[in-house]
Amino acid sequence: MNPSNLDDLKRAAALKAVEYVRDGMVVGLGTGSTAKHVMLALGERIKKGLKIKGVPTSQETARLARKAKIPLLPDDEVWPIDVAIDGADQVDPQFNLVKGGGGALLKEKIVAAAAKRFIVVVDHTKRVPVLGGSFPLPVEIIPFGWRNTAQKIEACGGNAVLRKRDGKIFKTETGHYILDVQIARIDRPAELELQLNALPGVVENGLFVARTSVLIVGTPAGVEEQHAGH
């Protein structure tokens, strides 16, 4: 399937996700290609009178939100987030996710944890029987002693590669590095999430376990909507 078709499927799923947004809500705004569609759809509804406030998970998302005329809450407030909408790089049958391909996983997880309801929007190619394999697990780490941290991470299983962009070390918006950890299968994501986050030097990892409230999938046959626990 060509990328433009996949983009159409993401857009269809994003439109469905935006139906969960009601007047007066505080909305967590994810980062990435799917989130762009969410922002455009919210912008259209705002033109028709929808009043919401947003919490962006990256500077790029903040820029898109301002363009869509979504008022943003300051970073240092306590946000009463009603619903957060975000994409994912992988999703397993239990709705566990791998996120962080775009490098915003720390802010995305903070926002997802603060939301009463977390809606995940993907196209059907992101569904996998088990996490890992085709997509590496991003782990955000502090730069100090990063090679030591990488060794400790590899001891948990997998091969850690320092993320680079254009030949330079990739830095997150919070000034951290990302290790992309190639793991053949993540059979126990809840255990691995805790194990990685317990390592000194690790800030956060891209496993989102038991956080998804609603999964919305754009497929060639239409949009599928599944609720956690159903």
**Residues with a known catalytic role:** 108
Label residue 31 exposed, middle or buried (CB < 10 Å: 0-12, 13-18, 19+). Answer: buried
Classify 33 as helix, strand or coil.
helix
Bridge partners, residue 139, by sequence? 179, 205
Classify 50 as helix, strand or coil.
coil
Q: For residue 68, what are the contacts with CB-CB under 8 A and spacing of at least 6?
A: 39, 40, 42, 43, 46
Bridge partners, residue 214, by sequence? 119, 227
